[in-house]
Chains A and B, each alone.
Chain A
Amino acid sequence: MSALASAGMIRQLEAIGPFDAAACMNCGVCSAACPLGIDLLPRRLFRYALLGCEDRVHDASGPIFSCLLCRACEANCPAGVHITENMRVLRHWLLQEGS
């Protein structure tokens, strides 16, 4: 699996809507609270997005679209990251990418 970094990706995401993944401090509480036990940690996914690893974000479309948007992660996030809105932004980006 390649990981081609794209400097433009974060700009595309921020153009879609507020994307505050940079506030994530990698503590992992979100994953511990997730009812899905989501198999791609939001912190890792957000890092892919911030670094512009488009291929890796594409590969993660299953977990991104299976997120329940239930906000159990956000209710527990010590950094106050808007995790579910970030997920929605990533969904929109993935849909645009393929259109």
Chain B
Amino acid sequence: MPLPVRDVVGILADNLRLRGSVLPIPARRATAWARNLGIPRGGETVLYTGQMYQLIPYIERLVHLEQRLGDSPLARFTGVARRANRLVNGVAIVARPGAEERAEYDRVPANVARLLQRAGVAFGYLYEDDLYSGALAHDLGADEAVAAHARRVAGILRKHGVREVITLDPHTTTMLRTVYPKLVEGYDVRVRSYLEVLAERGLPVGVPLSGTVTIHDSCVYARYEGIVDEPRRLLASVGLTVAEPENAGQWTWCCGGPAESLFPTTAAAIAGKRVEQLRAVAPDCVTMCPICLVNLRKAANGTMRLRDISDHLLDAVAERGASAAHVGGPTR
């Protein structure tokens, strides 16, 4: 049984207002991926993570808790939980993913930074000022909290003199590129996904890959931002053959993830249907959104291999040693 919507959205909006993220995590955790990469602080062009990949292990812990709570008498006390959360950061108490879980998703921003470095793109990072974009709160209609947060993020970008932002997930891309200009007067930051940047610039392929993968387009990239060709061009440039599933590109099928925070059972059913479509085409699937990746992995339950596109691309630039048998490895 779903938890009361108003209380759950209220907790997320309170967190955004009070702590700068719907799910506030310590800055040292959000920025851990950048250690040892030598990325300068700030600059006119920055890689903006919006903490999306870093948040996934915490989201998973919370969704698991939410499912258990929804079926228990404690579900009646979400209003009390909201009041308590205003005083104490509840996420820090109840969501404590292990190092291995964090490392699995921290890998993606590190991948993207390495790819941009190898492609010769000059960029910085805002470290503790790289805040969540407000995407989930925006989707749920918490508009006042999102508008205030957008102004805060825009102010941070202005303070650092940022003129161009390179994003690495679809939700942060559409928030910073399409939503913020409607909320923040004078916002004129150029926003591009790293897929667009790399597709334009080209990748220095060291070890061409081989094999066939299927592709799961993000609804937000494909239908909100028109990013469809770029991931395909990049995969082709590293030697992979893309087998299109039923419902691809502009007609992609949702992973179910957006419903997960309020309706996890519904989200799982949609993801299961999508996995069937993908598995019918190839046992290896490329994703490009952290929400899609985690939802489809759960639904696949080890029956197919799902990897972020950055994993494949980095294999091909040979920084960490690619294997000839690139696809067809163990499922994950």
A residues with CB within 8 A of B: 16-17, 35-36, 61-62, 65-66, 68-72, 74-75, 88-95, 98-99
State which of A17, A66, A68, A94 has its C-beta within 8 Å of the C-beta of B143: A17
Q: How far is the CB of B243 from chain A (nearest CB, A)?
A: 21
Let me know if B259 and A95 touch, CB within 8 A: no
Let me know if A91 and B140 touch, CB within 8 A: yes
State which of A36, A72, A89 has its C-beta within 8 Å of the C-beta of B141: A89
Bound-state Cα–Cα, A92 to B273, Å: 30
Any chain A CB within 8 A of the CB of B180? no
Bound-state Cα–Cα, A91 to B141, Å: 5
Bound-state Cα–Cα, A35 to B273, Å: 9
Known: A35-B256, A66-B259, A66-B262. 15 other contacts (CB 8 A): A17-B143, A66-B263, A68-B259, A68-B270, A71-B219, A71-B223, A71-B224, A74-B223, A75-B250, A88-B139, A89-B141, A90-B141, A91-B141, A94-B141, A98-B6
Closest chain A residue to B261 by CB distance?
A65
> Chain A at the B interface: mostly helix, strand, loop or mixed?
helix
State which of B5, B251, B254, B273 has its C-beta within 8 Å of the C-beta of A68: B254
Bound-state Cα–Cα, A65 to B143, Å: 15
> Chain B at the A interface: mostly helix, strand, loop or mixed?
helix
Q: How far is the CB of B270 from chain A (nearest CB, A)?
A: 5
Let me know if B140 and A70 touch, CB within 8 A: no
**What residues of chain B lie closer than 8 Å to A68, measured between beta carbons?**
219, 254, 256, 258-259, 270
State which of A65, A72, A74, A75 has its C-beta within 8 Å of the C-beta of B140: A65
Let me know if B141 and A75 touch, CB within 8 A: no
Q: For residues 246 through 267 of chain B, which have their beta carbon under 8 Å from a beta carbon of chain A?
A: 250-251, 253-254, 256, 258-259, 262-263, 266
Query: How many residues in B have their beta carbons less than 8 Å from beta carbons of A?
Result: 25
Closest chain A residue to B263 by CB distance?
A66
A-B residue pairs, 6 tightest by C-beta? A91-B141, A92-B141, A70-B254, A70-B219, A71-B223, A68-B258
**What residues of chain A lie closer than 8 Å to B251, measured between beta carbons?**
72, 75
Any chain A CB within 8 A of the CB of B313? no
**What residues of chain B lie closer than 8 Å to A17, measured between beta carbons?**
143
Return the CB mask of B251-291 against A: 1 if under 8 Å, else 0.
10110101100110010001001000000000000000000
Any chain A CB within 8 A of the CB of B52? no
18 contacts between A and B (CB under 8 A): A17-B143, A35-B253, A35-B273, A66-B259, A68-B254, A69-B258, A70-B219, A70-B258, A71-B219, A71-B223, A71-B224, A72-B253, A91-B141, A92-B141, A94-B5, A94-B6, A94-B141, A95-B6
